[in-house]
């Protein structure tokens, strides 16, 4: 197969992340606007996007600050909300094991739901042996990061004039983005089982503290998928096909 250059991979990563950027724009702008409205200083709001760079955790933290929740509880909640990134890291680890710390530090810092979803598809494509798939990963990461900073800044500046913006349903953009990522990968019955179980448990476990229901639901979904794969009769899995390739 062809062997794309570093530059080609980088820009392919940026390009494939574009739809996710569209979905993240309203989210970032609302965060900027809500951050200041929840009582954080503009500098703290911007610093959160620059140094924490974790959309859902930032939203939840801003919400907790507005409610006057204590600092240790906010940090603990951030940790729990971010636990899914450990699953992402475990999934990507075999693909980035050859990289130096110079690569792993920034790629680790820039890990998001969106970049993970785009990049894992690229790494799993076994139809080419590109040496520079990590450049694709870098392109996706930088595109998401740059967009997040820009959107937070716009939200911060627009701040007051955007009051009532939360009633426009803009947070729905993230939901449709994720739907567009999930549906195309539900190609086998075990994945369907996994998704249904994850969704059902996420509702049942929703009342639990610190949003821990999210990680419980995700783990139940993964386990259900594995069980279904073991017991449901089905054609060759994607993994087998890749191994054969």
Partner 1 sequence: MNEVILIVGMVAATFLVRYPVLALLGKVSMPEPVLRALRYVPPAVLTAIIVPEVLMPGGQIKIANNAYLIAAIVAMLISWRTKSLLLTIILGMATLWLWYAIVGI
34 binds partner 1 (CB under 8 A): no
Identify which of residues 162 and 181 has a Cβ nearer to partner 1 in the complex. 181
* Total number of residues that touch partner 1 (CB under 8 A): 97
Given candidates 142, 153, 157, 186, which one binds partner 1 under the rule CB under 8 A?
186
| Least distance between partner 1 and beta carbon 84 (Å) | 5
CB burial of residue 152 (10 Å; 0-12, 13-18, 19+) = buried
CA pair distance 227, 189, nearest whole angstrom? 11
85 binds partner 1 (CB under 8 A): yes
30 binds partner 1 (CB under 8 A): no
Q: Which of residues 91-120 bind partner 1 (CB under 8 A)?
A: 91-97, 101, 104-105, 107-109, 111, 113, 116-117, 120
38 binds partner 1 (CB under 8 A): no
Q: Which of 84, 86, 98 is nearest to 56 (CA)?
A: 84
Q: Which of residues 54-73 bind partner 1 (CB under 8 A)?
A: 54, 56-58, 61, 65, 71-72
CA pair distance 242, 167, nearest whole angstrom? 46
138 binds partner 1 (CB under 8 A): no
79 binds partner 1 (CB under 8 A): yes
| Least distance between partner 1 and beta carbon 157 (Å) | 19
| Least distance between partner 1 and beta carbon 36 (Å) | 12
Stretch that binds partner 1, among 3-11, 138-146, 147-155, 197-205 (CB under 8 A): 197-205
Stretch that binds partner 1, among 5-13, 15-23, 126-134, 150-158 (CB under 8 A): 15-23
Given candidates 153, 195, 208, 212, which one binds partner 1 under the rule CB under 8 A?
195
Identify which of residues 158 and 195 has a Cβ nearer to partner 1 in the complex. 195
Q: At what angle do helices 172-182 and 6-37 cross, to 10 degrees?
A: 150
| Least distance between partner 1 and beta carbon 131 (Å) | 17
Q: Which of residues 204-233 bind partner 1 (CB under 8 A)?
A: 206, 213-215, 217-218, 221-223, 225-226, 229
Q: Find out whether 90 and 83 touch, Cβ atoms under 8 Å.
A: no
Q: Which residues does 7 contact at the CB level (< 8 Å), separation at least 6?
A: 135
Tokens of 109: 């810092």
Stretch that binds partner 1, among 1-9, 38-46, 140-148, 152-160 (CB under 8 A): 38-46
């Amino acid at each position: 197969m062809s062997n794309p250059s570093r530059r080609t991979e980088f820009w392919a990563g940026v390009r494939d992340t574009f739809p996710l950027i569209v979905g993240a724009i309203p989210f970032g702008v609302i965060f900027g606007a809500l951050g200041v409205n929840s009582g954080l200083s503009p500098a703290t709001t911007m610093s959160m996007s620059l140094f924490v760079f974790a959309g859902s955790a930032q939203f939840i933290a801003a919400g907790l600050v507005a409610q006057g929740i204590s600092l240790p509880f906010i940090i603990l909640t951030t940790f729990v909300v971010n636990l899914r990134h450990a699953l992402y890291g475990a999934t990507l680890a075999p693909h980035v094991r050859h990289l130096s710390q110079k690569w792993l530090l920034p790629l680790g810092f820039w890990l998001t739901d969106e970049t993970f979803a785009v990049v894992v598809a690229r790494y799993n494509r076994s139809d080419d042996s590109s040496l520079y798939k990590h450049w694709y990963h870098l392109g996706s990461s930088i595109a998401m990061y740059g967009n997040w900073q820009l959107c937070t800044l716009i939200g911060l500046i627009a701040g007051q004039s955007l009051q009532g913006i939360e009633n426009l349903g803009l947070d729905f953009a993230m939901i449709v983005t994720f739907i567009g990522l999930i549906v195309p990968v539900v190609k086998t019955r075990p994945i369907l089982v996994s998704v249904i179980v994850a969704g059902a448990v996420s509702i049942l476990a929703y009342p639990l503290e610190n949003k821990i229901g999210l990680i419980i639901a995700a783990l139940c979904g993964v386990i259900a998928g594995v069980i279904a794969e073991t017991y449901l009769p089905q054609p060759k899995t994607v993994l087998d096909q890749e191994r054969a390739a």
